[in-house]
């Protein structure tokens, strides 16, 4: 799969590593894990990804005991489960710590599964992310110096700078705790989320979510 889809791949394989899930439940859990950090995943992107992962033998479908539920008369939902090859692929993706893992979307999903990542890789990703945040702070500073003298523009730059500075402090604390072997201060099941710059700042993704038509949420398409 293309590198741009690595975040979705990690999310799917990581959740299926916990337990088999049908597509609709898988999507809901992805929303819970990484939904607050980026746009929600639609069935339009999830199901092609599932088919691609199945073609590569990373996941498999369980065979329903009956094609139609005797209680509801509805078609039984397909359940996806992780294969040994998929588990190996997940470990390989989580072991990656290159520049792509420092960017917003990949950093978020890697961070969400840090519990399955070794300490050395975690530190490399955190330090790489710190490099990205410092670069963004420098760009914001340069933009602020050349920006037009407008109070609203100045306020946006101030807010963006403060958000990046908070993330920088957070990353420094996490790296220090990792190096000392103490881990994050909060429960591993609910890791702290990085601060994101304000919408329109041009400094990465925002925390907004995109609503979808109710029809996409009420039923699962056939696969």
Sign of CA dihedral 56, 59, 65, 66: negative
Instruction: Please give the pLDDT value at position 67.
Output: 53
Supply the pLDDT for residue 203.
44
Q: pTM for the full model?
A: 0.72
Which ranges of the chain have pLDDT less than 70?
1-4, 34-43, 63-76, 147-149, 185-223
Q: Taking Cα atoms as reference points, which of 187, 58, 191 lies closest to residue 122?
A: 191
Write down the domain spans for the chain: 3-64+79-97, 118-179
Q: For residue range 30-39, list pLDDT tens digits in order.
A: 888 766 555 5
How do residues 150-173 score in pLDDT, each as one tens digit? 788 888 888 999 999 999 999 999
Question: What pLDDT shows up at residue 216?
Answer: 40
pLDDT of residue 145: 74
Strands 21-22 and 59-62, by their bridges, are: unpaired
CATH architecture of structural domain 3-64+79-97: Orthogonal Bundle (1.10)
DSSP 21: E
DSSP E strands: which ranges in the chain? Answer: 21-22, 59-62, 79-82
- The pair of structure tokens assigned to 42 is 């639609």
């Amino acid at each position: 799969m293309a590198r741009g889809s690595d975040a979705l791949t990690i999310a799917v394989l990581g959740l299926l590593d916990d337990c088999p899930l049908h597509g609709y439940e898988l999507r809901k859990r992805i929303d819970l894990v990484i939904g607050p950090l980026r746009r929600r995943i639609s069935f339009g992107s999830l199901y092609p990804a599932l088919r691609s992962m199945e073609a590569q033998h990373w996941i498999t479908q369980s065979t329903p005991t009956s094609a139609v539920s005797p209680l509801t008369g509805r078609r039984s939902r397909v359940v996806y489960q992780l294969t040994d090859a998929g588990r190996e692929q997940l470990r390989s993706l989580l072991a990656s710590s290159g520049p792509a893992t420092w960017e917003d979307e990949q950093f978020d999903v890697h961070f969400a599964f840090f519990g399955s990542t070794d300490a050395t890789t975690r530190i490399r990703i955190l330090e790489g992310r710190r490099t990205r945040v410092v670069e963004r702070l420098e760009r914001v500073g340069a933009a602020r110096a050349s920006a037009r003298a407008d109070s609203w523009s100045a306020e946006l730059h101030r807010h963006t700078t403060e958000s990046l500075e908070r993330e920088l402090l957070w990353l420094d604390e996490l790296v220090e705790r990792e190096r000392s072997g103490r881990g994050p201060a909060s429960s591993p099941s609910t890791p702290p989320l990085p601060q994101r710059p304000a919408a329109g700042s041009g400094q990465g993704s925002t925390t907004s979510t995109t609503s979808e038509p109710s029809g996409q949420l009420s039923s699962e398409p056939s696969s």
